[in-house]
């Protein structure tokens, strides 16, 4: 992994369902096993109801991205999680693995830089800032 990585900690999200913590550990272990790079965890509580956590990772090539996605899917099935839904496998520029409470995005480096999901989902978006933060900015 890159030493400049991870602005957010990679751990189970507080308040998640009890099995979500194990699911997060399974996903992270499978990403590390597959040599995924630049892992970033984004807490989605209060931002969307689609999932509790988003994990963004990078693969070195399209083949590596596909292999990482396969490893995540296999690990989730072996752990007894629901069968993940997978999108983007034919091209493997950006593969999304939806495991319910956890969504994993696996990118080739240049595609990840272009879409920059960490910026989009990581901080407060303009319409979602807290009243105290909005006043402090004025």
What confidence tens digit (pLDDT) does each residue in 30-66 have? Answer: 999 999 999 999 888 777 778 888 999 999 999 999 9
- Give pLDDT tens digits for 119-138: 877 665 444 443 343 333 33
Kindly report the pTM of this predicted structure.
Answer: 0.74
> Does residue 78 fall inside a structural domain?
yes
DSSP reduced 3-state for 126 = helix
Length of the chain: 138
Residue 119's domain spans which residues? 18-137
- Reply yes or no on whether the pLDDT at 1 is more than 90: no
> Does residue 84 fall inside a structural domain?
yes
Angle between helix axes 18-33 and 62-78 (nearest 10 degrees) is 140
The CATH number for 67's domain is 3.30.460.10
> Does residue 4 fall inside a structural domain?
no
Other CB atoms within 10 A of residue 88 CB = 18
What pLDDT is stored for residue 110 in this prediction? 96
**Please, what is the average pLDDT of the chain?**
79
């Amino acid at each position: 992994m890159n030493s400049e990585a991870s602005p957010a900690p990679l751990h189970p999200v507080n308040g998640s369902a009890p099995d979500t913590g194990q699911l997060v550990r399974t996903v992270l272990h499978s990403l590390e096993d597959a040599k995924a790079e630049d892992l970033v965890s984004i807490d989605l509580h209060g931002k969307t109801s689609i999932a509790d956590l988003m994990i963004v990772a990078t693969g070195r090539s399209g083949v590596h991205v596909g292999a990482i996605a396969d490893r995540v899917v296999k690990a989730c099935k072996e752990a007894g999680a629901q069968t993940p839904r997978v999108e983007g496998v034919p091209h493997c520029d950006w593969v999304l693995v939806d495991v319910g409470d956890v969504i994993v995005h696996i990118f080739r480096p240049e595609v990840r830089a272009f879409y920059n999901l960490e910026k989009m989902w990581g901080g407060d978006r303009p319409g979602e800032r807290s009243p105290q933060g909005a006043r402090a900015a004025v």
